[in-house]
Structure 1
């Protein structure tokens, strides 16, 4: 691998996005590699939206609510949490603004992330930012008039609202359902809006079909002017900010070059891990997210890694996502037990909540909850029945099989077979976690 290829591959995993994005694209292969990564968030957002509307969905500009916590059957979005109920709405602002109402939630955590189609969080409303008393907010698309303190501007004509409402165990679900009932949208609706949305192929489509899809998405949701340098770099591919792409101009040999560039992008991306873990800082066995998580600017490779491994990730001020170093890169392959030991008084410092969630990895780089006999998918600050050591410290035991004895109470089950990984989530992290003064202890293998 030459120096240029090495930098681009590292950028695809998010390890050196600035270097990768600064490189010129002298050939078709390099242009295809970078353009495939650039377009992946658009493709993943379109696919997630299409799956939502293929099921039981209330329609455009309306919320649909999950009534139970995510489990192994929850495969619509990669790396779901098992702490909150999701409420989801797909917005179409082409016919005018939409009004969002968030009910009062008191001490209960809630966030409503307003993501543009490039997966940036244009706003996160809720406990941290707008307070406990809820409110009404006017969501305004590009070029639309709007003023006042409660206007939220969205960078693309279409968007995704994803609300997270904290659940404190099964008995708490009815109370959360009442909160969801107060989470509403007012604005244009109807099948005519969704009928106009582009129908695009998935990330496994042949390269030319994929770029046709990216072009269609760019027409519907134009990119920011600050992406101009990217489009100049991928000029050999002919993909433009206006959504132009002429597949008929390529010979068979050129198509092969494009496919080779796409294959390189996919291979590099698979190493990134959940929620773009490969892009962060590895410190004492844990990867911590960069400050661009959730609003990516020109970190296109990192944005692509997050779209694949943790679509809809929140920015660090709202939530920190940390990932342990496994047996082989990001993944664990052993049977365990592994131990995560929190010394007394050294639990994750949060003003919200924290949890450690187990995921199985798929061959294409996504992450999902896995069935287990304990029906436990995460351990956190609300998990009932956890036992502390005599000195007040807490051990979490990670293993494919029940570790037995006193360890069973604190067992986080791993998949029976195959690679797995974990995500340590900390919502409303305190400053010592954000700035690195608090670090998670290493996950260590322990003899039975």
Structure 2
């Protein structure tokens, strides 16, 4: 049963679509690219600029953390941010919020700083997996004062350098463990070799993005051997980072085209990208939609029917909540596979999706890494978002076809899409 205890003042009623959507939606920049570009600049020796930056909660937390460690970041201009590396130092405290990129990308950087740097975050952040990364850093020579649970909070006391070398880890819970180590690898005295030993790494395109961006900053990276990455020690150079639109945040807007038998265009969709969100093109076609990538952007169109799908989402798990929402409105059952790692995200997304969709009359069952969704006639009610932006997006998508769906809190969308409610109203033609 859906919990309706959220204060009414915090709730947001998802608008239903009375007509087909026909819209062009300009998305802000990719959080994943932003986080990597900021860390690479802080680890470098010359300044960088970020064009089309994303100003959202996760990037604000990353900026605040890097500033606290000694990096100068000018965010006055919404079109271009200027970043100047400085001597990394403590003592300072880092607020990770719920941002996995902050809690997993910055500890390796902190290990090369001078002084104590303490990490903590939102209450649920303390439950997110961290032990594989911290274990690896200790093997590489880092001095870490850890909590009994093995995650946040913890303190890293650096001596201005880290030996580095070789480490073997199990990154099956998050590709961010690998990316976090690689981004700071050039700073380590011996460079870094990371070997993954375990089930397949989830969200593998994010690791490819890390490797591509490291090379763009001047790093020498060898990823020719499966599940092994070698970064040579060296100096990273500054550059202009052109931040792509966040393709994962396109998911609810593209879903609206399918559900309303309309069309949505996302301008600036790259012809080639390492963003996992690019998988949307294939997913929408599987559901029965049509997609077209042109100079105008990526356009999705619905054809009036949505068929169920059976798909492995291990490389783009972040799309799962919206895909589950579409599947709940489809004509035939769906199976979403390879998503067990989502149990360690902002919330246990498999459990949350099961509880909330079923609370609206749905039929969803979850196993260790699979969601099975059988369409049922849904009804309105409160859809709890668990402070998770992807859960909020899923609820908004369901609300397109199901009247009286209320989100317990829509403000959590500010994590990566700070203007989501207004953008959603504009999509439906109900905004001013």
TM-score, normalization by structure 2: 0.27
